[in-house]
A = this chain, B = another copy of it.
Amino acid sequence: MTSTAQSSAAKFCLNLADIRQAAERIRPHVLMTPAVDAWHLHQELGCRLSLKCENLQYGFAFKARGACNAVFSLSDDDATKGVVTHSSGNHAAALARAAVLRGIKAHIVMPHNSARVKLEAVRNLGVEPILCEPDSASREATASAVQQQTGATMIHPFNDARVIAGQGTAALEILRQVPDVDTIIVPVGGGGLLAGTLMTIKSIRPDVRVFAAEPAWADDAFRSLKAGSIQPALRTDTIADGLRTPLGTLTFPIIQHFVDDVLCADEATIIRATALLAQRCRMVAEPSGAVPLSAILQHGHLFLGSKTVALISGGNLDDLRLLD
């Protein structure tokens, strides 16, 4: 118990041991995605950048990690009643896949305006999404009704300790793959990935800076940190559709305690970063996955001379014209 995170762990919903257990539990069900040297951007950015490619993960998103950890944590009794969630996209398909792997039923509530590719990903797993309105209240009410009817276990997309622990496993891999990393930047929506990453990194390598990146049009995490309490999203139209949700009660305390800063990126830069990842790094990412690179482009002085890993969170892109 020498490090900051370990000694404060009692305050939070999970600790490093939970993340290490999650890594063991999900190993058969997720890919160890590569950390790719983004050598073509080094000169422009003034830093050595690697990309942790969760866009190559099963389901093309890191969400496979949290969903598998949650589903494979269930007792056999609970598992037989199935799982339920609401999600704008990647968690939806990830939970459906984890349920299929365990052979149990998944009830997936999705906003009707979810990206087409994300709706299809769920259908391709043999699960028909239950459509709702594109706001938190409708999502939660619909999922809650399904839960009461079926007795299924709610696996929230981010406000769930099992999910956060699963998302934190990507950071364990980063430390092995890029041992000289000094800075990590991950996107923040509900904060599951960010909270898991913070718990891993600040427990093992508290000297490594961890930045969150979010769209300026969905800057609720930025405002929440300033205000000292969870702030709602003010608009839900950023192209980074995976990052439109506000923080959760379990993720906020971890983020508030450990994050080095939240860096915002505007829409034009998010679109440019999505194209840059394809053109200069040969990587297809969805706009949400390009938000960390967008934040580096807009806050370059923070990264000069650093060895940075940007986590590319997903690759579910509706429109490949964005790459041009």
Residues of A with Cβ closer than 8 Å to B? 31, 34, 36-37, 39-40, 53, 55-56, 58, 60, 278-279, 281-285, 315, 320-321, 323-324
A117, chain B: closest CB distance, angstroms: 9
Given contacts A31-B37, A320-B324, 19 further A-B contacts (CB under 8 A): A31-B39, A34-B36, A34-B53, A36-B53, A37-B56, A40-B60, A55-B282, A56-B281, A278-B323, A279-B320, A282-B283, A282-B284, A282-B285, A283-B283, A284-B323, A320-B320, A320-B323, A321-B324, A323-B323
Contacting residues, chain B, for A34 (C-beta < 8 A): 34, 36, 53
Of all A-B residue pairs in the complex, the 3 with the closest CB atoms, nearest first, are: A34-B34, A282-B284, A282-B315
Chain B residue numbers with a CB within 8 Å of A55 are 282
**Which of B36, B37, B40, B320 is in CB contact (< 8 Å) with A278?**
B320
A-B contact pairs, 17 of them (CB 8 A): A34-B36, A36-B56, A40-B60, A53-B282, A56-B282, A60-B282, A278-B278, A278-B284, A278-B323, A279-B284, A282-B283, A282-B315, A283-B283, A283-B284, A284-B323, A321-B324, A323-B323
Identical copies of this chain, number: 2
Which residue in chain B gives the minimum CB-CB distance to A60? B282
Residues from chain B with a CB closer than 8 A to the CB of A321 are 324
Which residues of B have CB within 8 Å of A279?
Answer: 284, 320
Q: How far is the CA of A94 from the CA of B235 in the complex (A)?
A: 47
A37 CB contacts on chain B under 8 angstroms? 31, 56
Q: Which residue of the partner chain B has the closest CB to A177?
A: B34
Chain B residues lying within 8 Å of A324, measured Cβ to Cβ, are 320-321
Complex CA gap A315/B320 in Å reads 16
- Chain B CB count within 10 A is highest, among A39, A56, A323, for A56
Kindly list chain B residues whose C-beta atoms are within 8 Å of the C-beta of A284. Answer: 278-279, 282-284, 323
Q: How far is the CA of A324 from the CA of B284 in the complex (A)?
A: 12
CA distance A283 to B323 in the complex (A): 12
| A189 → B minimal CB distance (Å) | 20
- Please, how many angstroms separate the alpha-carbon atoms of A53 and B34 in the complex? 11
Q: What residues of B have a CB within 8 angstroms of the CB of A36 in the complex?
A: 34, 53, 56
Residue of B nearest to A275 (CB): B320
CA gap between A53 and B55 in the complex, in Å = 15
- The answer for the CA separation of A56 and B281 in the assembled complex, in Å, is 7
Q: How far is the CA of A37 from the CA of B36 in the complex (A)?
A: 14
Across the two chains, which residue of chain B brings its CB closest to A312? B282
Q: Across the two chains, which residue of chain B brings its CB closest to A39?
A: B58
Closest B-chain residue to A37, C-beta based? Answer: B31
Contacts of A58 in B (CB 8 A): 39
Q: CB-nearest residue of chain B relative to A319?
A: B324
- A284 and B281 alpha carbons, distance in the complex (Å): 8
What CA separation (Å) do A142 and B321 show in the bound complex?
40
Minimum C-beta distance from A226 to chain B (A): 35
Residue of B nearest to A55 (CB): B282
Closest B residue to A286 by CB, please name it: B282
